[in-house]
């Protein structure tokens, strides 16, 4: 099988032929149909974060495909069933986080495309208990971006406890942001979308944003304040300055939800303003299996639209370049050609 492999941080990925992986107990092998390129995969390939993967590894945590082999003990999935393999590859199922519905905080978790090989491949392994069945009527190409970009932003809006009549700022309308705009609208909020490219601002408008703010030309914090200030600002831009700008645009009692993960990122949070204005800073990491089930359910009901372009896996290095230079409308999804 073909896979795109990170051999060393910061080097181009290499397309390799590898033997098909063999599922162990509790695992399944998936013949990948579609695999999204999340900006996290770029951080992984660059070794951007304090906790690093170990090259060689196959990135990708938006892999969607058909189960083709069941490991020992797997009874609830069947051959030919379509599943999505998210970032949360597995969690322990026994710790306080797992038992309280916060499996995404499990300290024993293994992350797909980071702690084990991921979806930039024709075949991949998944732990059956964490492989999410994809409902009929959701295509693999739509399911792929929903598997990380979708579930992550859906969860970010949940932790912000967004309600109708609130103003939500979505900072960064990329893969994650284009779905965040839609979930905020579904929650009934007024949405202010912030980006630095004309295409993304136009896309935000098409997807229902009420206000668009061009961070190249406008003071984001001041503009949000002119609209009364944001009840929640969802920070999705890979840029520290954008976090500070979003924080400055909160209204009293507002919440900054940190989602993007710029390398070595730190943000100055002014103590006086935070205390006097009663604002919060919250970190939000992907979402649970239940969150992903809800994301798929909303999509199957026709309530969200996934914007993507398909490319062959061989374009992986050019595709990464395109994401880094803002030349992608929302998401790139690799077409692995399963079933053809
Ligand atoms: P992306 O590259 O598709 O989108 C980023 C967007 O931010 C682009 O549209 C870009 O034009 C815009 N942008 C850049 N500078 C900006 C600025 N100053 N102000 C406003 N917008 C600006 O990336 P993505 O795949 O959506 O991922 C975004 C980030 O989220 C990455 O750091 C990724 O690692 C992280 N992420 C976090 C989680 C989590 O669970 N916390 C999950 C997935 C991704
Ligand atoms: Zn656990
Ligand atoms: Zn991701």
Please give the average pLDDT of every successive group of 10 residues along the chain, which has 340 residues. Answer: 98 98 98 98 97 98 98 98 98 98 98 98 98 97 99 98 98 98 98 97 98 98 98 98 98 98 94 98 98 98 98 98 95 84
Is the domain of 254 the same as that of 303? Answer: no
Q: Quickly count: other Cβ atoms within 10 Å of residue 35's Cβ.
A: 35
Is the domain of 108 the same as that of 123? Answer: yes
3-class secondary-structure state, position 280? strand
Q: Give the CATH number for residue 214.
A: 3.40.50.720
Contact 73/25 with Cβ under 8 angstroms? yes
Question: Ligand 1: does its nearest atom lie under 6 Å from the Cβ of 180?
Answer: no
Determine the distance separating the centroid of ligand 2 and the alpha carbon of 29, expressed in angstroms. Answer: 23
Q: Whose CA is nearest to atom 29 of ligand 1?
A: 260
Is the domain of 7 the same as that of 136? Answer: yes
Question: Ligand 1: does its nearest atom lie under 6 Å from the Cβ of 239?
Answer: yes
Question: Ligand 1: does its nearest atom lie under 6 Å from the Cβ of 259?
Answer: yes
Judge whether 155 lies within some domain: no
Is the domain of 72 the same as that of 133? Answer: yes
Judge whether 191 lies within some domain: yes
Q: Which ligand is nearest to the CA of 106?
A: 2
Boundary residue ending a domain (266, 283, 300): 283
Judge whether 150 lies within some domain: no
Task: Give one DSSP letter per residue of 181-245, joined into a string.
Answer: HHHHHHTT-EEEEEESSHHHHHHHHHTT-SEEEETTTS-HHHHHHHTT-EEEEEE-SS-HHHHHH
Distance CA 120, CA 316 (A): 9
Q: Give the CATH number for residue 24.
A: 3.90.180.10
Is the domain of 279 the same as that of 314? Answer: no
What is the pTM assigned to this prediction? 0.98
Contact 215/244 with Cβ under 8 angstroms? no
Contact 31/122 with Cβ under 8 angstroms? yes
Judge whether 153 lies within some domain: no
Determine the distance separating the centroid of ligand 3 and the alpha carbon of 260, expressed in angstroms. Answer: 10
Q: Whose CA is nearest to atom 36 of ligand 1?
A: 260
Give the residues across from 125 on adjacent strands: 29
**Among 159, 171, 261, which is best to mutate for testing ligand 1, by the most ligand atoms less than 8 A from CB?**
261
Contact 88/107 with Cβ under 8 angstroms? no
Judge whether 39 lies within some domain: yes
Q: What is the pLDDT of residue 324?
A: 97
Q: Identify the residue whose tokens are 């779905």.
A: 179
Give the atom of ligand 1 at the shortest distance from the alpha carbon of 149: 43
Range of the domain at 325: 2-145+289-335
Determine the distance separating the centroid of ligand 2 and the alpha carbon of 138, expressed in angstroms. Answer: 30
Question: Ligand 1: does its nearest atom lie under 6 Å from the Cβ of 82?
Answer: no
Determine the distance separating the centroid of ligand 1 and the alpha carbon of 238, expressed in angstroms. Answer: 5
Is the domain of 43 the same as that of 104? Answer: yes
Q: What is the pLDDT of residue 337?
A: 85
Is the domain of 121 the same as that of 180? Answer: no
3-class secondary-structure state, position 318? helix
Question: Ligand 1: does its nearest atom lie under 6 Å from the Cβ of 172?
Answer: yes
Q: Which two tokens stand for residue 92?
A: 């322990």
Is the domain of 204 the same as that of 176? Answer: yes
Give the atom of ligand 1 at the shortest distance from the alpha carbon of 238: 32
Is the domain of 6 the same as that of 137? Answer: yes
Judge whether 98 lies within some domain: yes
Indicate the pairing of strand 123-127 with strand 27-36. Answer: antiparallel
Q: What is the pLDDT of residue 338?
A: 67
Boundary residue ending a domain (240, 264, 283): 283
Is the domain of 99 the same as that of 44? Answer: yes
Distance CA 308, CA 330 (A): 6
3-class secondary-structure state, position 88? strand
Q: Which two tokens stand for residue 281?
A: 């800073």
Q: Which ligand is nearest to the CA of 287?
A: 1
Judge whether 309 lies within some domain: yes
φ/ψ (deg, to 5) at 86: -85, 175
Is the domain of 217 the same as that of 253? Answer: yes
Q: Whose CA is nearest to atom 18 of ligand 1?
A: 242
Is the domain of 17 the same as that of 128? Answer: yes
Judge whether 152 lies within some domain: no
**DSSP code, position 314:** G
Question: Ligand 1: does its nearest atom lie under 6 Å from the Cβ of 245?
Answer: no
Boundary residue ending a domain (246, 264, 283): 283
Total number of domains constituting the chain:
2
Determine the distance separating the centroid of ligand 2 and the alpha carbon of 289, expressed in angstroms. Answer: 13
Give the atom of ligand 1 at the shortest distance from the alpha carbon of 331: 3
**DSSP code, position 104:** G
**DSSP code, position 19:** P
Give the atom of ligand 1 at the shortest distance from the alpha carbon of 286: 40
Distance CA 330, CA 307 (A): 6
Give the atom of ligand 1 at the shortest distance from the alpha carbon of 37: 25
Question: Ligand 1: does its nearest atom lie under 6 Å from the Cβ of 155?
Answer: no
């Amino acid at each position: 099988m073909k896979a795109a492999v990170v051999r060393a941080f910061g080097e181009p990925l290499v397309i390799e032929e590898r033997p098909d992986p063999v599922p162990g107990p509790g695992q399944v092998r998936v013949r990948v149909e579609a695999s999204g390129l999340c900006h996290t995969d770029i951080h992984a390939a660059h070794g951007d974060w304090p906790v690093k993967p170990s090259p060689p590894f196959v990135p990708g945590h938006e892999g969607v495909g058909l189960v083709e082999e069941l490991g020992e003990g797997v009874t609830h999935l069947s051959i030919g069933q379509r599943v999505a393999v998210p970032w949360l590859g597995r969690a322990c199922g026994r710790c306080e986080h797992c038992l309280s519905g916060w499996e995404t905080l499990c300290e024993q978790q293994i992350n797909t495309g980071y702690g084990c090989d991921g979806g930039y491949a024709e075949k991949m392994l998944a732990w059956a208990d964490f492989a999410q069945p994809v409902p009929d009527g959701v295509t693999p190409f739509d399911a792929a971006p929903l598997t990380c970009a979708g579930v992550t932003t859906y969860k970010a809006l949940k932790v912000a406890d967004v309600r109708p009549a609130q103003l939500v700022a979505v900072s960064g309308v990329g893969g994650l942001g284009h779905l965040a705009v839609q979930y905020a609208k579904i929650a009934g909020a007024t949405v202010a979308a912030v980006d630095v490219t004309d295409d993304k601002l136009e896309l935000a408008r098409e997807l229902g944003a009420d206000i668009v703010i061009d961070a190249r030309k406008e003071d984001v914090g001041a503009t949000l304040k002119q609209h009364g200030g944001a009840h929640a600002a969802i920070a999705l831009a890979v840029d520290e300055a954008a976090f500070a700008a979003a924080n400055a645009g909160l209204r009293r009692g507002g919440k900054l939800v940190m989602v993007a993960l710029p390398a070595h990122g730190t943000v100055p949070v002014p103590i006086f303003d935070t205390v006097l204005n009663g604002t919060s800073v919250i970190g939000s990491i992907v979402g649970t299996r239940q969150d992903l089930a809800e994301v798929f359910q909303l999509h199957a009901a026709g309530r969200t639209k996934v914007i993507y372009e398909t490319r062959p896996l061989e374009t992986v290095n050019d595709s990464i370049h395109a994401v880094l230079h803002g030349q992608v409308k929302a998401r790139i999804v690799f077409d692995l050609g399963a079933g053809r």
